[in-house]
Amino acid sequence: MRLATYLHQGRRRCGRVEDGRILPFPEGTELLGIVAGGPVPAAGPAGAAVPLDEVRLLPPIEPPSVRDFVAFEEHVEGVRRSVDGRSGVPDAWYDAPTFYFSNPHAMVGARDDVPVPPGSAALDFELEVAAVIGREGADLSPEEARGHIFGYTIFNDWSARDLQSREMRVGLGPCKGKDAATTLGPWLVTADELEPYRDTAGFLRLALTAELNGEVVGRDLLSNMGWPFEDLVAYASRGTRVRPGDVLGSGTCGNGGCLAELWGRNGSQDPPPLKPGDTVTLTVEGIGTVSNTIVPGTAPVPVGRARERPRDRP
């Protein structure tokens, strides 16, 4: 199934996507409840089918938490060269599927405009796929983890590269460089729908395409991940719990899955950073397409530099 959350005639609803239309579920139904194991309502009696081109697609769910992994070796190699001029992949990357926690309150829909983050002059997109957890679990094995994945959606981790580069010199993960917006959508595809794409090594072989203003700038396969999603879920659950609705991003694909990778390979910001009026369109085989246009953002609210270290003592 393909499950969507949407606005139509000022009302927020969710339903099942079929043949270019949405069959609405009863009012008050939330996809997060279905993801958590609730029954899938019968679609249709709750209202007439609505054409997709008449609705505003919202993020399918409001996730309790968002973990964004970095599971593509080619992406790491290209971005590392772009950020600090170093070649290769850090040896520690191969040890385990690293992730950071992103902002669950910054989700935007499949066709929503995306403002430039305050103070940024180097906005970038990132083409990813995300798994959505359907069952709670802790210390899962990869074999157990497969049964805890409810479905998949497209994940665009918008990144202010200039803010990210500066703040990460402190030695922590990204903060405002990754805080402004993440596209989730266009809908949630249940895991069974993508099983036909699974290869013999256990990876989902889905074609990934990134377009900027109608021109293809990136192509890759999801099966080029360093770990399958089951490993990501198992690692995320180590020593803690994953819960229904948690979103786990694959990390950005290689071969043009973001501009920063291309900047690293080309030795310059070519193509240039995103600006108002640019439209980024991401397509994932078996899932669908999201397309967002950049619009002007707001000026940053000033925060002063830190004062010099006080010398007072108790």
Q: Where do the structural domains in the chain lie, given as residue ranges?
A: 2-58, 66-295
With a CB cutoff of 8 Å and minimum separation 6, the contacts of 18 are 2
Number of helices (H), then strands (E), belonging to the chain: the values are 7, 21
Q: How many degrees, rounded to 5, is the angle at CA 162 between CA 170 and CA 152? A: 90
- pLDDT for residue 84: 67
pTM: 0.95
Dihedral, 47, 18, 251, 102 alpha carbons, nearest 10? 0
146 and 192 Cβ atoms separated by less than 8 Å:
no
Per-residue confidence of the chain (314 residues) as pLDDT tens digits? 999 999 999 999 999 999 999 999 998 999 999 999 888 876 555 678 999 999 999 999 999 999 999 999 999 988 877 766 667 899 999 999 999 999 999 999 999 999 999 999 999 999 999 999 999 999 999 999 999 999 999 999 999 999 998 998 888 888 999 999 999 999 999 999 999 999 999 999 999 999 999 999 999 999 999 999 999 999 999 999 999 999 999 999 999 999 999 998 888 899 999 999 999 999 999 999 999 999 999 999 999 999 888 888 88
- pLDDT for residue 168: 86
- pLDDT for residue 302: 94
**Domain 66-295 in CATH 3.30.365.10:** no
CA dist 15 and 7 (Å) reads: 11
CA dist 253 and 250 (Å) reads: 8
C-alpha dist (Å) from residue 155 to 277, 278, 305: 21, 18, 34
- pLDDT for residue 188: 98
With a CB cutoff of 8 Å and minimum separation 6, the contacts of 15 are 3, 4, 6, 22, 23, 24, 25, 43, 46, 50
